[in-house]
Every structure is written in structure tokens, then in C-alpha cells.
Amino acid sequence: MTTLVRTRSPFTRWLASRPPGAAVEITPARVTAVSVAQEGGAHVVAGHASAGLAPGAVDAALNARNVHDAAALSGAIAGVLDRLSPRPKRVGLVLPDTVAKVSLVRFEKVPARVQDLDQLIRWQVRKAAPFRIEDAQVAWVPGHAFAQGSREFVVTIARRDVIESYEKACAAAGAYAGIVDIASFNLINLMLAARESSPGDWLLVHAAADYATLAVVRGGDVIFFRNRTTADEGDLADLVHQTTMYHEDRLGGGGFSRIVLAGATARGTEQAEELRRQLEARTGTRAEPAEFGPAIALRDRTSASADLHDTIAPAVGMLLRERMIGRGAPDRERVAS
């Protein structure tokens, strides 16, 4: 269900041949690489490696230069890929949510031709884009369908030069980044792979070190998405409370069936635990970690700490989704241009 930001031409399927050998996640603090394999008919994390980045090497911003030390970034990517066996040549690339703007766009009548729909979506998001739409990567995926034929679309825009700067760093490290996506979408992918269905709407709270994203999922569709920089756990708990009220008042929700708290260990163990307590107190719903569950296993189960799950979860989410599509699982139409 992910919206993809890709530099391939529109309407092509990069996965027509095979899924990527690994996924690389880049944040301002670190680079993480993960590879997935099949053993006995089940998916397992075959390898993972992380390397820190010096402060200032990468600044994950929507409308500004992101890569300030290309040599350091490509060196870190090469270093983590060298620790995977075999070393992958093709990777999926996961970037912070803050490099892109996500919008939910609803049309009462959807054009029959994909090209017409693509143009209509681009015209709609142009008004809110903080840069020229001609300089943007625009990607969309069908979202929630409503009665009488209206439908929402989950639309992602990012500056083309920003995306290309990350792709060039991968190329300099000897890897082709054929698919690029943001972290929270792949956390949702991972949770959907781990539990195919939930009895009601559920909430993802992605508490990264330098931003927070809230997403409400109904079935397999994102019906609410909000990203902002947050200073502390109290601010984020307030934001979750506001989202809960909005969900009940405007989205027809009756409370969340589950809350998934991801990434919080990047803020520190004590802060993550405090955030979990505040979320549960505000919502009355257990805040569960973004664990892989039945979707995938770690070869080294002794290292399956909460910190490790948070570190590799977005990359695992991309690989699980792409490998399932590559094996013939259903995929909805996606466009990136």
C-alpha cells in the first residue's frame, strides 16, 4: 500500500524482474542495511549492519539540501553493504519522512485514464507544494474508497534533486537504488505483513529522533497522515490525543484497535518508556512495539532487542513488501514521475 518516490519513468514496474537484494535506510544519525532471505519457506533477516554518521553530514529536510558530506554518506553505505553476504548490487532506499510531503487527495469522480488521473493529482498538490511541481517527484497510490464512487489517493511529493542526491550516494557505494520510499510507509507495510487484518482502525506512532509521524490505517488504507517536528514526549502525547479526537469526530472512528509505537528507542530507553506510558494513559489502548511477529524471524534471536527492532524495522518493511510482490502477491497500481 506504499506510495513510492522513484526516478524511473511513469507506469513502469521496477519489480518485473526481481526484488532488491537489500534495503538501506538513511537517517541524519546513521545508515542501516538489511538483507532478507527465505529459509524453510519463511522469511528471515539474513543480515543487518549499521554505521553512524557525523552530525551535519545529512540533514533530512523537505525543501533544502540534504546531503552535505557525500563522501561520508557513500562511505557509510559502502561499509554496511560490505558487511552483508553476498554484497547486494541493487537496493531499496528508505529515507526519513521529512524529505517528502504526504497528502490525502479525494476526488468525487476518478478519471478512467491513468494519465488523466496523474495530471489531476499533480494539479491538486501543486497548490500546497513548497517548491515547483516541475522540480518534484510525484508518486501516488489509491487509498480509501468511499460510497458513490469517490476515492482518496495517498500522494507523496519530494524535490527531485534531493532524491537524486541520496541515489548518487548509493551509486558511489556500488549499489543501484531502484526504489525509494519513506520510513513510515514501510513501518505500515511491516505491520500489515505481520498481521494481515485488524478488527478496526489502528494508529502508527513513529517517534523518530528528530520528527514524529502519526498515521491512521483502516484495513490496508492510510486515512490520516501527519508529520511534524516534536520537542518532547509530552508534545507527542498531546498530538496523539488530538489525532484520537479527530479520528472520532471526523473519520467516523470509535477508538483505535491497536497503537503501534515505532522508533522511540532512538530517543533513549527512558524516553521511549515514558512516551509509551503517556500514550496508553491518553488513549486507553496498549501501545505495542513495532515487532515483526509472524512475518519474519531473526537468525540470531538472542539479539532481538527493542532497539534492534526499531533500527531495522523500516528496511525490513520495504523488503517484505517488495519480495511478496516479486513472488506474485497482488499489488495495486502505482505511479511515480
pLDDT at position 8: 31
User: What global pTM score does this model have?
Assistant: 0.90
Question: Where do we find the cell 513502469?
Answer: 12
pLDDT at position 329: 45
Helix, strand, or coil (residue 80)? helix
pLDDT at position 336: 62
Helix, strand, or coil (residue 252)? coil
Sheet holding 297-298, edge to edge: 176-182, 90-95, 22-26, 30-39, 42-52, 297-298
pLDDT at position 153: 96
pLDDT at position 14: 31
pLDDT < 70 regions, the chain: 1-18, 196-197, 231, 293, 300-304, 322-337
pLDDT at position 78: 98
pLDDT at position 10: 29
CA distance 212 to 242: 14
pLDDT at position 111: 94
Question: Where do we find the cell 479520528?
Answer: 247
Phi, psi angles (nearest 5°) of residue 307: -65, -40
CB 307 within 8 A of CB 265: yes
Distance of CA 191 to the CA centre of its chain: 11
Distance of CA 87 to the CA centre of its chain: 24
| Residues sharing a CB contact under 8 Å with residue 146, sequence separation 6 or more, in sequence order | 106, 152
pLDDT at position 7: 32
pLDDT at position 59: 96
pLDDT at position 304: 67
Which ranges constitute the DSSP H helices of the chain? 70-82, 114-126, 160-172, 183-194, 233-250, 269-283, 306-326
pLDDT at position 197: 63
Q: Which three cell numbers stand for residue 123?
A: 494539479
**pLDDT tens digits for 224-256?**
999 998 767 778 999 999 999 999 999 999 899
Q: Look at residues 212, 233, 230, 249 and name the one whose alpha carbon lies nearest to residue 282.
A: 233
CB 263 within 8 A of CB 184: no
| Residues sharing a CB contact under 8 Å with residue 231, sequence separation 6 or more, in sequence order | none
Break the chain into its structural domains and give their ranges: 14-99+159-197+293-336
CB 216 within 8 A of CB 205: no
Q: How far is CA 337 from CA 60, 122, 171, 175, 247, in A?
A: 21, 10, 20, 22, 32
Q: Which three cell numbers stand for residue 301?
A: 534471536
Domain 14-99+159-197+293-336 part of CATH 3.30.420.40: yes
Q: Which three cell numbers stand for residue 223?
A: 486515512
**Helices 160-172/70-82 angle, 10° precision:** 50
CA distance 99 to 309: 23
Distance of CA 70 to the CA centre of its chain: 23
